[in-house]
């Protein structure tokens, strides 16, 4: 072969150089018949909890998001893989789409850790630590942990959301642990369609602004089988939310489940078709709450709270149509966010305060209309007001009540007929 002008020799050298060159560029692994794996370690991540692995994650995302699968592998989904047993120190991460593939999977099996000091934060005034935007058909799971190093932020005013997803339709989010977020643990906005389950969110009850799940401008969202204990709302459903289903969630500590606040600074905001069921609220500042600002416009309607257990909650059922965020006085305003078609059914448990039900509806306009209460039984725990019976307060609310303790006298009583 060497007698032919050395052609074979030169060909072998060219092939050798090609093999060596290719070895320096990470290539996706075949996780299974339907997935291509992009391991962040293959892109330079150390996972030792000390080295900044931000660039490696961004490189792995760029490769996965822009992946072109061969014709015979069109059904394979790119997977950004974060391996188990490693801790990845990360600055701000922004994962943008749209991606080449019709779907993409982020498997977090290890631990993602935020910077350990305010001084080491390099992202300036950015409002979130990890963000996804315009990534449709995104699946995030893996059983790993997202640790926000929240205590270093809680005494400052520069809070950061931990994980924010915007304009991510048809989201799947499962089996993750969120710990000590600087601000909201999970924020989802401007999106349609999400299936969310088996999330565990942990932060001290006194940690400020650490909402569990914060939703705004979203529709067709199902959250279930999760445990949320933080220092603020377990759920905050803000303007633009519709067709939200929350089922089998344990909440506490925290501020409970909140619709709103809506209508601040005269805004027009709407929330509708919300169904919250089979939930337990333990030691929360509020139970189930609807709050709107005076002077706002829009509506909160077609909202159902069903099969809810209250354990030592301070304010189990509350509507506040004159919400002022703790201020003693608010400008009364000439308008109010409409509140109507609200149903409370099969709610039971204990109230830390005697005032177990508070319907504080605005005297502007019609107040709260078509409030339905059915099969509600609340009593005091006796911890702070030993011997006092629970009671309900009611201003400008209209509706019906059946088998409700404490009695809500401003609502019409519809007792069952006895033959």
Q: Which residues have a catalytic role annotated? A: 255
**Half-sphere exposure of residue 254: CA atoms within 13 angstroms, side-chain side:** 32
**Phi, psi (5° rounding) for residue 178?**
-115, 125
* Distance between CA atoms of residues 167 and 179, nearest Å: 24
* Distance between CA atoms of residues 236 and 290, nearest Å: 10
Q: What is the CA angle 304-306-308, rounded to 5? A: 130
- Closest among 198, 194, 203, 197 to 159, alpha carbons compared: 203
CA distances to 13, 73, 221 from 298, rounded to whole Å, are 73, 49, 21
Listed in sequence order, the DSSP H helices in 70-129 are: none
Residue 199 tokens read as 């999330």
SS3 assignment, position 334: coil
Among all chains, which residue has been given the structure tokens 């059983």?
143
Specify whether the CB–CB gap between 108 and 176 falls below 8 A.
yes
Q: What is the CA angle 128-190-35, rounded to 5? A: 80
């Amino acid at each position: 072969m060497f007698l032919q002008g050395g052609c074979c020799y030169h060909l072998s050298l060219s092939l050798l150089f090609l093999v060596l060159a290719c070895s320096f560029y990470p290539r996706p692994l075949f996780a299974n018949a339907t997935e291509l794996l992009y391991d962040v370690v293959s892109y330079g991540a150390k996972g030792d909890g000390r080295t900044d692995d931000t660039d490696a994650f961004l490189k792995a995302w760029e490769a996965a998001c822009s992946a072109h699968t061969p014709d015979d592998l069109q059904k394979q989904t790119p997977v950004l893989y974060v391996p188990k047993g490693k801790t990845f120190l990360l600055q701000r991460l922004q994962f943008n789409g749209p991606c080449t593939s019709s779907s993409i999977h982020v498997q977090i099996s290890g631990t993602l850790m935020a910077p350990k000091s305010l001084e080491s934060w390099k992202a300036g005034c950015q409002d979130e630590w990890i963000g996804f935007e315009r990534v449709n058909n995104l699946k995030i799971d893996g059983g790993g942990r997202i640790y926000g190093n929240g205590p270093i932020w809680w005494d400052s005013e520069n809070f950061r959301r931990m994980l924010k997803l915007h304009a991510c339709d048809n989201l799947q989010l499962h089996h993750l642990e969120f710990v000590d977020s600087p601000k909201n643990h999970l924020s989802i906005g401007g999106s349609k369609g999400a299936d969310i389950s088996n999330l565990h969110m942990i932060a001290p009850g006194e940690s400020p602004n650490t909402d569990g799940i914060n939703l705004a401008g979203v529709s067709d969202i199902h959250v279930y089988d999760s445990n949320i204990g933080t220092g603020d709302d377990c759920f905050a459903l803000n303007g633009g939310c519709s067709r939200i289903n929350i089922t089998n969630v344990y909440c506490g500590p925290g501020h409970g489940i909140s619709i709103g606040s809506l209508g601040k600074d005269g805004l027009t905001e709407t929330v509708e078709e919300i169904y919250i069921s089979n939930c337990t609220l333990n030691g929360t500042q509020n139970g189930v709450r609807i709050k709107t600002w005076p002077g706002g416009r829009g509506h909160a309607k077609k909202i159902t709270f069903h099969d809810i257990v209250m354990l030592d909650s301070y304010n189990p059922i509350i509507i506040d149509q004159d919400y002022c965020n703790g201020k003693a006085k608010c400008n009364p305003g000439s308008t109010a966010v409409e509140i109507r078609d609200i149903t409370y059914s099969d709610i039971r448990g204990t109230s830390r305060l005697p005032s177990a039900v508070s319907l504080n509806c605005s005297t502007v306009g019609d107040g709260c209309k078509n409030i339905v209460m059915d099969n509600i039984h609340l009593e005091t725990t006796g911890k702070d007001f030993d011997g006092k019976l629970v009671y309900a307060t009611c201003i400008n609310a209209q509706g019906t009540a059946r088998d409700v303790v404490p009695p809500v006298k401003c609502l019409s009583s519809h007792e069952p007929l006895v033959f």
